[in-house]
């Protein structure tokens, strides 16, 4: 991102002496937790505590839900507001985020360890564009008039679902917040949002901007806290009408179960993947090398879209591996607040240990370690970008489940969830049909990618891939206009695009008896 640009010309982080917003945000006011508890949030780059944050639990979630319910009642300022005014408020929030962009990017980097320019450009751009996209939709959400049988007239209306819960992961705290909040508000809902316990800071700053933008009290409520307490309270709450979750498959299953056992609230889930890339010999090789590597190690590999299984046609396999190593050497590991850095630390010790364990088991089982494979420095959370090739039939490291890294099966087929670390696993294939079968041989189906210069092949293979997104000659190409979500166990429902509006609307059919057929 920073390549070739003098450091002085790059946007710079702001100096954060003290984090201003660390409390629970309900009804446009800041609250201490009912239990009196707080929890610390840490900078993964240094291990230093950034600040303590008020810890929301069930009682605080109840309070937030009451506020959100009151704000969405018929006759409330939010429900009476013109749809176009809702859109204006969303634009107003986007303007304030642009004003505070450097501060938000700095907070995101402090809390997650992701490189500052990535926060500044990718996360902030994506968040602001998502808001503006749904701001535009607010007064364009409408039903249909239907040609029903006999002497009736029927039309449909799209109404808000009501109070929407959102549970956010730590890898893209601000972006995932916006993917959920923006369509929910565009459709006229109110929200109760729980940021991940590792990364609550940008969400809380957004609370301040929500108030400044002029949203009525109770429309947006933010409850920082832990998963099994605050998160579980949202999932099982009797007065929440819908919950949107991004995170691990295990927790996604718990959320769906909690919904079933409580009030059958609507559930959308964006879970993991074990995402295949198929690289054909006729591709633009350098492009394929760079994009697949970006796919594997971007955000320190902590992406549900991570390119976990890279299948390369046999005739270009060696050259692909060689160039992947050369490209990996250009990755700049360093202080995430330095705009020249392109690779930061993992989020936590727990994640770091799991990834290192799996890298070690990969080495022991005889996968060829082509590059990296070690921690960087002593007692840090940095892991070198790592490349494994030469995956052989007998290798088997771990099976299934989150973080049980790469199971080197005989053919690179279903290997459980993504590694969530900066590790690239490169397999080879001989025939197109074989590559498709191996790519689809997974219980997940989030994203996939195809690299080829043949449009015919690109379309044929993309039709055969069982994933919610197929990227052709690109990777991680996400846009506010494009729906995102998974097939199979990668989730339910879609975020982004017009499709997401359906997840945040109820459809009401109104049928009128007429005295005669029109």
Residues with catalytic function: 270, 304
Binders of ligand ADP in range 219-258 (CB under 6 A): 226-228, 231-232, 235, 247-248, 251, 254-255
Task: Tell me the three state secondary structure of residue 450.
Answer: strand
Q: Please tell me the chain's helix, strand, coil percentages from 3-state DSSP, rounded to the nearest 5.
A: 40, 20, 40
* Three state DSSP letters for 70-105: HHHCCCCHHHHCCHHHHHHHHHHHHHHHHHCHHHHH
Residue nearest to ligand ADP (CB): 227
Nearer to ligand ADP, 194 or 494 (CB): 194
Give the position of tokens 């944050």: 53
Beta-sheet pairing, 29-31 with 38-42: unpaired
- Does 167 participate in binding ligand ADP (rule CB under 6 A)? yes
Stated as kind and residue range, the H or E segment containing 24 is: strand 24-26
Task: Tell me the three state secondary structure of residue 362.
Answer: helix
Q: Provide φ and ψ at 442, rounded to 5°.
A: -155, 150
Task: Tell me the three state secondary structure of residue 459.
Answer: helix
- Does 489 participate in binding ligand ADP (rule CB under 6 A)? no
**Closest distance of CB 448 from ligand ADP, Å:** 22
For residue 324, what is the DSSP state? H
Please, which residues bridge with residue 495 across strands? 484
Stretch binding ligand ADP (CB under 6 A), from 70-78, 84-92, 165-173, 391-399: 165-173
CB 233 within 8 A of CB 242: no
- How far apart CA 345 and CA 352 sit, in angstroms, is 9
Nearer to ligand ADP, 61 or 219 (CB): 61
Beta-sheet pairing, 152-160 with 242-246: unpaired
CB 230 within 8 A of CB 203: no
Which of 87, 160, 162, 169 is the binder for ligand ADP (CB under 6 A)?
Answer: 169
**Closest distance of CB 227 from ligand ADP, Å:** 2
**Closest distance of CB 42 from ligand ADP, Å:** 14
- Does 192 participate in binding ligand ADP (rule CB under 6 A)? no
**Closest distance of CB 391 from ligand ADP, Å:** 25
Nearer to ligand ADP, 131 or 251 (CB): 251
Stretch binding ligand ADP (CB under 6 A), from 162-170, 184-192, 292-300, 462-470: 162-170
Stretch binding ligand ADP (CB under 6 A), from 47-55, 125-133, 189-197, 279-287: 189-197
Task: Tell me the three state secondary structure of residue 38.
Answer: strand
Nearer to ligand ADP, 236 or 442 (CB): 236
- How far apart CA 453 and CA 14 sit, in angstroms, is 44
**Closest distance of CB 254 from ligand ADP, Å:** 5
**Closest distance of CB 35 from ligand ADP, Å:** 17
Nearer to ligand ADP, 132 or 194 (CB): 194
**Closest distance of CB 261 from ligand ADP, Å:** 13
- How far apart CA 339 and CA 121 sit, in angstroms, is 11
Stretch binding ligand ADP (CB under 6 A), from 20-28, 66-74, 190-198, 287-295: 190-198
Binders of ligand ADP in range 195-224 (CB under 6 A): 196-197
The site map against ligand ADP for 19-48 (x = CB under 6 A) is ------------------------------
Nearer to ligand ADP, 192 or 279 (CB): 192
Nearer to ligand ADP, 207 or 227 (CB): 227
Q: CB neighbours of 468 closer than 8 A, spacing ≥ 6?
A: 445, 446, 447, 483, 484, 485, 486, 487, 490, 491, 494
The token pair at 438 is 């191996």
350 phi-psi bin (left φ>0, alpha ψ -120 to 50, beta other): alpha
Binding footprint of ligand ADP on the chain (CB under 6 A): 167-170, 194, 196-197, 226-228, 231-232, 235, 247-248, 251, 254-255
């Amino acid at each position: 991102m920073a390549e070739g640009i003098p450091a002085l010309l790059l946007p710079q982080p702001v100096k954060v002496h003290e984090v201003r917003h660390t409390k629970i945000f309900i009804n446009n006011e800041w609250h201490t937790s009912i239990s009196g508890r707080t929890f610390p949030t840490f900078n993964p780059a240094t291990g230093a505590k950034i600040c303590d944050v008020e810890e929301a639990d069930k009682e605080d979630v109840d309070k937030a839900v009451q506020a959100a319910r009151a704000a969405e009642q018929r006759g409330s300022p939010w429900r009476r507001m013109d749809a176009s005014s809702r859109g204006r408020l969303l634009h107003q929030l986007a303007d304030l985020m642009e004003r505070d962009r450097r501060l938000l990017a700095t907070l995101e980097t402090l809390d997650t360890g992701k490189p500052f320019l990535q926060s500044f450009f990718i996360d902030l751009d994506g968040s602001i564009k998502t808001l503006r996209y749904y701001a535009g939709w607010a007064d364009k959400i409408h039903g249909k008039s239907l040609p029903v049988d006999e002497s009736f007239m029927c039309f449909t209306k799209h109404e808000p679902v009501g109070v929407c819960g959102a549970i956010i992961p730590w890898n893209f705290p601000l972006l995932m917040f916006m993917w959920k909040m923006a369509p929910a508000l565009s459709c006229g809902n109110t929200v109760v949002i729980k940021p991940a316990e590792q990364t609550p800071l940008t969400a809380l700053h957004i609370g301040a901007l929500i108030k400044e933008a002029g949203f009525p009290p109770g429309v947006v409520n933010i409850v920082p806290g832990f998963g099994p307490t605050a998160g579980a309270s949202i999932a099982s709450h009797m007065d929440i009408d819908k919950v949107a979750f991004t995170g691990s498959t295990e927790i996604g299953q718990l959320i769906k179960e909690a919904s079933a056992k409580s009030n059958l609230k609507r559930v959308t889930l964006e879970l993991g993947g074990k995402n295949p890339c198929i690289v054909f010999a006729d591709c633009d090789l350098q492009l394929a090398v760079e994009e697949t590597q970006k796919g594997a190690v971007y955000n320190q590999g902590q992406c549900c879209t991570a390119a976990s299984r890279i299948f390369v046609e046999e005739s270009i396999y060696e050259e692909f591996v060689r160039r992947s190593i050369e490209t990996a050497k250009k990755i700049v590991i360093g202080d995430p607040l330095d705009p020249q850095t392109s690779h930061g630390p993992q989020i936590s010790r727990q994640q770091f240990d799991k990834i290192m364990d799996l890298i070690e088991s990969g080495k022991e089982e005889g996968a060829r370690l082509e590059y990296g494979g070690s921690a960087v420095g002593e007692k840090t959370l940095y892991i070198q970008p790592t490349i494994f090739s030469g995956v052989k039939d007998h290798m088997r490291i771990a099976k299934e489940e989150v973080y049980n890294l790469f199971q080197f099966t005989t053919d690179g087929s279903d290997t459980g969830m993504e590694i969530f670390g900066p590790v690239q696993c490169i397999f080879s294939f001989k025939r197109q049909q074989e590559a498709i079968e191996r790519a689809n041989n997974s219980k997940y189906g989030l994203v996939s990618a195809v690299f080829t210069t043949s449009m015919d092949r690109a379309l044929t293979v993309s039709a055969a891939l069982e994933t919610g997104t197929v990227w052709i000659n690109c990777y991680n190409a996400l846009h506010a206009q494009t729906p995102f979500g998974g097939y199979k166990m990668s989730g339910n429902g879609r975020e982004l695009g017009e499709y997401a509006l359906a997840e945040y609307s109820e459809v009401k059919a109104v049928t009128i008896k007429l005295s005669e057929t029109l």
